[in-house]
Amino acid sequence: QNLSERSLAAVADFIKSGRARRIVVMTGAGISTAAGIPDFRSPETGLYANLAALNLPEPEAVFDLAFFQQNPRPFYALARELYPGARYRPTVSHAFLALLARKNLLHVLFTQNIDCLERAAGVPPDRIIEAHGSFATQRCIDCREPFADDAKMRESVERGEVPRCERVVGRDEDETDGIGGKEQDEERRCGGLVKPDIVFFGEALPKAFFERSGAVQEADLVLVMGTSLQVHPFAGLPNMAEEEVPRVLFNLERVGSFGTRADDVMVLGDCDAGVRKLADALGWRDELEKAWRE
Ligand code: OAD
């Protein structure tokens, strides 16, 4: 047994003792790679390493508002890949989070992911803070008018087309005579670019993120899973936990300030394997596998 496995047993004992009642979880793209969705920064498989074909000035430009205004096509090419739908199934890690919620132990889940797999796994929406927004809604970047037709949005994305704002801003007099000799007017539309409400670089995070970030200070256990903790302000969340609160990292690599606190536990490797080990130590393994298969 290595050190992390002994520590994981201690974490399990802590949860079983009933003293961990408010578990706060922070997740990133790494919990969805097993579902077939690439993460961003993994050296070979990550999206940023594979965006060369889209001719971007730098990979992050795909989520840059100024760049999107000039050229929305690279983002929509990516959106086609990432758009939530029946294509992707929640992973064991997602199922574990749903299990925590079912056992009334999940205080708040902060996710950076836009794939909506937490909901799909059955984590109650009121426990989830989608810190970087999601594909659930969309609006015009010029007039901010919501684009309400979700079905049309989905069609556009699937066809790789860029949807445009349909808000009527006026009428153009039509010169030609219409039916019955009456003059017909043409509606003038806003036509601005429509963008899903996911947070681009330079945009503010949703209000809910700031309103609920205090929940980290209420945590008696913090779990961080599948994130490089490179993007702020999200990356600052684990540091907001009280000093004596154990923080557990399930990730391929060490990230953020993990390892600087006495009670940090690092379970380095695949996060599904890590949560299975924790579930074993908790005696929850069968329940976890069943929840995942459902
Ligand atoms: P990253 O791609 O930056 O980090 C993913 C982390 O998960 C890395 O540390 C990987 O090593 C790790 N990882 C990958 N697969 C794993 C697995 N199966 N098990 C365990 N760990 C694994 O993704 P995020 O941290 O989520 O912004 O990125 C943060 C933000 O940067 C994203 O929300 C996105 C991006 O720009 C927007 O979309 C607006």
Residue with tokens 């999940």: 106
Average pLDDT over residues 1-20: 85
223 close to 197: Cβ distance less than 8 angstroms? no
Q: What is the mean pLDDT of the chain?
A: 92
- Decide if 94 is catalytic: no
d(CA 197, CA 140): 10
CB of residue 81 inside a 6 A radius of ligand 1: no
CB of residue 252 inside a 6 A radius of ligand 1: yes
The response to whether 272 counts as a known ligand-binding position is: no
Residue 72: what pLDDT? 95
- Global confidence as pTM: 0.92
d(CA 68, CA 73): 8
Residue 219: what pLDDT? 98
CB of residue 32 inside a 6 A radius of ligand 1: no
Kindly tell me if the per-residue pLDDT of 1 is higher than 50. Answer: no
Residue 71: what pLDDT? 93
Q: Distance from the CA of 282 to the center of ligand 1, in angstroms? A: 27
- What b/e sequence results for 78-114 when a residue is b if at least 16 CB atoms lie within 10 Å of its CB, and e otherwise? bbeebbbeeebebbbbbbbbbbbbeeebbbbbbbbbb
Residue 274: what pLDDT? 98
Residue 192: what pLDDT? 97
Bridge partners, residue 188, by sequence:
170
Kindly tell me if the per-residue pLDDT of 190 is higher than 90. Answer: yes
Higher model confidence: residue 256 or residue 148? Answer: 256
For 180, the token pair is: 């019955």
Q: Could you identify the atom of ligand 1 that is nearest to the CA of residue 199?
A: 39
Q: Distance from the CA of 199 to the center of ligand 1, in angstroms? A: 15
Residue 86: what pLDDT? 66
Average pLDDT over residues 100-108: 98
The response to whether 91 counts as a known ligand-binding position is: no
CB of residue 199 inside a 6 A radius of ligand 1: yes
Sorted by sequence, the CB contacts under 8 Å of residue 274 that are 6+ apart come out as: 8, 225, 250, 267
Residue 202: what pLDDT? 84
CA contacts within 13 A on the Cβ side of 253: 10
For 270, the token pair is: 């695949």
| Confidence bin at 93 (pLDDT 50/70/90) | very high
For atom 31 of ligand 1, the residue with the nearest CA is 231
Q: Give the model confidence (pLDDT) of 191-232 as tens digits.
A: 999 999 999 998 999 999 999 999 999 999 999 999 999 999
